[in-house]
Amino acid sequence: MYRVRKVLNHNAILALDNDELKTYLVLHKGIGFGAKISELLDVPEDASVYSLEKSTERGNAMNIINEVDPVCLEISDAVLDEAEKVFGKVDRNIVFPMADHLAFAIQRLKRDETIRNPLKDDIRLLFHMEYQVAETVVPILQQRTGLSINDDEVGFIALHVHSAIVSENVAQSLQTAQIVRNCISYIEEKTGQKIEVTSLGYNRMMNHIRYMVTRIETGEPLKMNLNDYMSVKYPDIFRLSEDICNQMSRLLRKDYQDAEIGYLAMHIARVIDAE
């Protein structure tokens, strides 16, 4: 049993637990309809119940609830329901920063402002499943608010979905996507070859750099060392790869294993030979 603390709308309330020490956000269709402050309430088993004790990168949960339209919380909750169908267990506390982002997106749409996401194509490829989940926000938002968001915004929502399934916040996910984009742009610049975003080579390169970033961040060992072979067979590509590894190390402020140079060089050579 919970005691109603505040009714946000027909589908969202704030409620106190039995000891009346902690406040929770409860989302369920019709749960707020006719609810009265201080009355005891049975919460359905399929309701979404969120603790407000968690803080996010955008502030604490209660502050976000006080500032955003409850509809944004409902939409974010629905997106996380979809994420659970795809990924299984997810960190549902992402509901608060995702709702916060949606609230700002809605404000921009109402002012007829647009925000560009130059990494949307990279995000769509890097976090393919997360992007598919994020796309479910489009019809829900249209139905609930009459507003339509574009692919740029879907890309940002995909990063929130990604942060719900890994121990990585949105800023880190965005940094990974930016590093991937910068590396591929640098390879194109130095080799004079355009790597098509839709090509298999681009996809392989993108995923290699993504996991390379993770290895550098975590110190995970690389089990193969291709440095001797690649430095002799492809000396120019090997030097390019070393340059990229050094840049990445400075950006992440972490050292990399020497074996990363040859491994990256192999992937660059495969892409260049295929183009």
Quote the CA–CA distance of 181 and 268 in Å, as a whole number. Answer: 14
Phi-psi sector, 39: left (phi>0), alpha (psi -120 to 50), beta: beta
pLDDT at 28: 96
Quote the CA–CA distance of 265 and 154 in Å, as a whole number. Answer: 33
pTM for this predicted structure: 0.80
Quote the CA–CA distance of 161 and 84 in Å, as a whole number. Answer: 10
Q: Which domains does the chain have, with CATH numbers?
A: 1-53 (2.30.24.10), 55-167 (1.10.1790.10), 172-274 (1.10.1790.10)
Per run of 10 residues, the mean pLDDT along the chain (length 275 residues) is 93 88 93 92 92 69 93 97 95 93 93 87 90 96 94 94 86 88 93 84 86 90 90 95 95 93 92 74
pLDDT tens column, 138-166: 999 999 999 999 999 999 999 999 999 98
Q: In a 3-state reduction of DSSP, which class is residue 220?
A: coil
Cβ proximity of 120 and 155 under 8 Å:
yes
φ, ψ of residue 141 in degrees (nearest 5): -65, -40
Cβ proximity of 260 and 222 under 8 Å:
yes
Q: Which residues contact 184 (CB under 8 A, 6 or more apart)?
A: 195, 202, 205, 206, 209
Quote the CA–CA distance of 222 and 135 in Å, as a whole number. Answer: 35
* Structure tokens that stand for 236 in this block: 């120019």
pLDDT tens column, 241-256: 999 999 999 999 999 9
Pairing of strands 59-60, 55-56: antiparallel
Quote the CA–CA distance of 109 and 128 in Å, as a whole number. Answer: 25
Cβ proximity of 142 and 153 under 8 Å:
no
Cβ proximity of 15 and 43 under 8 Å:
yes
